[in-house]
Amino acid sequence: MILKGKTVKKGIVEGEAIVSKLPFSFLGDLDPQTGKVVPEGHDLQGQSIAGKIFVFDTGKGSTVGPNVAYQAKQLGNTPAGMICVEVEPVMAMVAIMNDIPMVHKLDKNPLDTIVTGDYIKMNATEGVVEVIKNS
């Protein structure tokens, strides 16, 4: 399945999808030392987003998020790429400052079409996401 969207940060990446239906902040939701999602009750609690294509609703929270993402990036604990329904300014800064390819505003809701474990080939430069279903 091919999805088309808008570029937030250019780049070409591929990898396994990890999907959250919740808004996300790098400040408070991610342990930069491990790459794991930490809040109790979060749908990805205890799971690592490091090296994966992180699919989520939107960003939330503090302007400190890009700095936390930078800490995680230095340790190899950021996603390889990010896809969200609609980006907000802080999450766009995370992607740009930390060189994480990112797209949003896809022609189909990624939370309805991508599930954890699907394989994603993302050309964020062109705004194209190929989803290879994990059957």
Catalytically annotated residues? 62
Q: Name residue 62's beta-bridge partners.
A: none
Q: Burial, 1: exposed, middle or buried (Cβ in 10 Å; 0-12, 13-18, 19+)?
A: exposed
Of 25, 20, 4, 89, the closest CA to residue 55 belongs to 20
Q: Are strands 102-104 and 6-9 parallel, antiparallel or unpaired?
A: antiparallel
